[in-house]
Structure 1
Amino acid sequence: MKQHAYGRDDGKGRKARVVFWNDPGQDVTGAISRSEKVAGTMEQLLGGEVYHYHSKIVMKDAHTGGMHVWHQDYGYWYSNGCLHPTMGTVFIAIDKAHTGNGCLKVLAKSQKMGRLDHTRIGDQAGVHGERLDEILKRHELNEMEMKPGDALFFHCNLLHTSEQNNSDDRRWAFLIAYNRADNNPYKKHHHSQYSPLGKVPNSAIMNCKPGASMTGKEFFSLDKNISMDALDPGFTEQMKK
């Protein structure tokens, strides 16, 4: 995983390190993303068949990990040709997440506002300014302190953020994004078009052998980001340089 990771400037002097892939693959991360307990739950929440949109590991190392600015996932995915916000993410803690090492923060019921305008902040897309100030006054802030293995399911329009990691504790997390099958993007982009997920029983997670092949996961880098290009034309060309 580490060899495919890259940093995203957080606009405050640090980089948020992350690794993305589009195909679930045959390793344990693929088994988790196809499992009934994860994918099946997301199908219930989104009201229909889902497919694997992408997965990522967010790597916030001690004293160096960057922040993720206030944003909605649909703030990115809207630009990728997804017409409806029938999408969601599962956030699974690998390490203990607490306020000191940059745990996830969410604004309760903020998804009900619909998609907000996003602008480029560092190498990220985010919401800021007067509107965000007012939103923060009116929506309850929840700091999602989690133990390893805890999972949070959330809608693609939920506003969320996480601070820099200034603690001695590493904070890694495994995130799986799903799209409802009938919301297949109308154009090709850097994430997945619809492909049947092929769900597996929960037992497949424990039965997955350590060291399973990582081939075929389709890792990608920041210089292929169509959604950032929509916010800042020429973004990917800048990254290539």
Structure 2
Amino acid sequence: MANLNAYVYNGEELEVSASMKEDFNRDGFIIVRNLLCQKELAILEEALQGPDSLTAYAYGNDDGDGRKATMCLWNHPGNDVTGAMARTRKLAHTAQELLGAEVYHYHSKLIMKEARTGGKFVWHQDYGYWYNFACLFPDMLTVFVAMDACSPENGCLQVLRGSHRAGRIDHGAVGNQVGADVGRVAELEKCLDKVYVQLEAGDALFFHCNLLHTSSANNSDQRRWAFLTAYNCNHNSPYAESIHCQKTTLRQLANDAVLTTGVNRNLSGKDVVMKQDGKYVTLAL
């Protein structure tokens, strides 16, 4: 298996070492194993179940092959356990250290690839979208936390190592989705290592907003759920309003905040993004 730039969380403060920064800057990503323990995963799982949970606001995106990847998306952390998780130092402070500047919560989402039906995502960069949301610089990253084991069979992420150094690539229609220029991606595939990001539940991938990534459909009998939080540097707050928020104060919490918050479904203040008639709208809760 290719080197995955993997580190292991020991349950205390997550120190961002020089080697972590070097890996992130060179390759565009690092992995932190065991970032969430089994009890934290169980709390998160329970909080996302039921008609009063965030999953009530989920919507599906057709991948062009008759399958859908379902997601729910929100702009502000809010007061529930998912907000507590996004504010933990092991996510937020680590993101800040990797980017080298103070950050705020740009948005979070839950991506649900169900067994046998979960759809694919074409090659893209997050900044390929966020550039159009009035963010001037690619000073942003995403933390992908696996709620289930992620494998090639159930549609784990694939990344092109070091592709963030190619800069922002033009994005446009690729089938039924918006993705990176297919010709340019094809050339980058010839010279960069494609990595299948295989994770266990509780592992996390921190990746740069210009890192090219894709994922296949879930052809297995195992679902693939993931919790993602995007952080933006304070100095990079969008210059105009868009579907995601401008700079807000991020109050970071202790690393055990999920455990102390428990199963909390109080969705007030989250500003959920919904898809209606092909357009994105925000719903203040």
**Structure 1 and Structure 2 fold alike (TM over 0.5):** yes
User: In the alignment, which residue of structure 1 is the partner of 2:129?
Assistant: 76
**Post-superposition offset of 1:211:** 3.2
Residue aligned with 1:100, SS: coil
12-21 or 63-72, larger mean C-alpha shift = 12-21
**Post-superposition offset of 1:112:** 0.1
**Post-superposition offset of 1:222:** 2.7
1:5–1:19: 8 Å Cα contact kept in structure 2? yes
Q: TM-score, normalised by structure 1?
A: 0.90
**Post-superposition offset of 1:214:** 1.9
Q: Quote the Cα distance in structure 2 between the aligned partners of 1:14 and 1:131.
A: 26
**Does 2:166 match 1:97?**
no
The one-letter amino acid paired with 1:236 is K
Residue aligned with 1:39, SS: helix
Q: How does 1:126-145 map to 2 (within 5 A)?
A: 126-145=179-198
**Does 2:256 match 1:203?**
yes
The one-letter amino acid paired with 1:197 is L
1:107–1:136: 8 Å Cα contact kept in structure 2? yes
Among candidates 211, 218, 223, match of residue 170 of structure 1: 223
The one-letter amino acid paired with 1:103 is C
**Post-superposition offset of 1:219:** 1.0
The one-letter amino acid paired with 1:151 is A
Cα distance, 1:198–1:7 mapped onto 2, change above 3 Å: same
Among candidates 100, 103, 114, match of residue 50 of structure 1: 103
Q: Quote the Cα distance in structure 2 between the aligned partners of 1:180 and 1:223.
A: 30
Q: How does 1:1-241 map to 2 (within 5 A)?
A: 1-122=54-175, 124-223=177-276, 236=279
Residue aligned with 2:205, SS: strand
**Post-superposition offset of 1:8:** 1.1
Residue aligned with 1:213, SS: coil
Q: Quote the Cα distance in structure 2 between the aligned partners of 1:6 and 1:210.
A: 23
The one-letter amino acid paired with 1:139 is L
Q: Quote the Cα distance in structure 2 between the aligned partners of 1:50 and 1:89.
A: 12
Cα distance, 1:123–1:30 mapped onto 2, change above 3 Å: farther
1:72–1:156: 8 Å Cα contact kept in structure 2? yes
Q: Runs of 4+ in structure 1 displaced over 6 angstroms?
A: none
Q: Quote the Cα distance in structure 1 between the aligned partners of 2:275 and 2:265.
A: 26
Q: Quote the Cα distance in structure 2 between the aligned partners of 1:14 and 1:119.
A: 20
Q: Quote the Cα distance in structure 1 between the aligned partners of 2:212 and 2:272.
A: 26
Q: Quote the Cα distance in structure 1 between the aligned partners of 2:202 and 2:182.
A: 35
- Deviations 1:169-207 (Å, cap 9, x if unpaired)? 000000000100000100001101100111111121210
- Deviations 1:46-85 (Å, cap 9, x if unpaired)? 1111000000000000000001110000000000000000
Q: Quote the Cα distance in structure 2 between the aligned partners of 1:169 and 1:140.
A: 27
2:95–2:206: 8 Å Cα contact kept in structure 1? yes
Residue aligned with 1:116, SS: coil
Q: Structure 2: which 5+ runs fail to align?
A: 1-53, 281-285
Q: Quote the Cα distance in structure 1 between the aligned partners of 2:72 and 2:103.
A: 22
Q: Quote the Cα distance in structure 2 between the aligned partners of 1:223 and 1:117.
A: 26
1:11–1:121: 8 Å Cα contact kept in structure 2? no
Q: Quote the Cα distance in structure 1 between the aligned partners of 2:264 and 2:100.
A: 35
**Post-superposition offset of 1:220:** 1.2
Q: TM-score, normalised by structure 2?
A: 0.77
User: In the alignment, which residue of structure 1 is the partner of 2:47?
Assistant: none
**Post-superposition offset of 1:125:** 1.8
Give the alignment's Cα RMSD to 1 decimal: 1.5
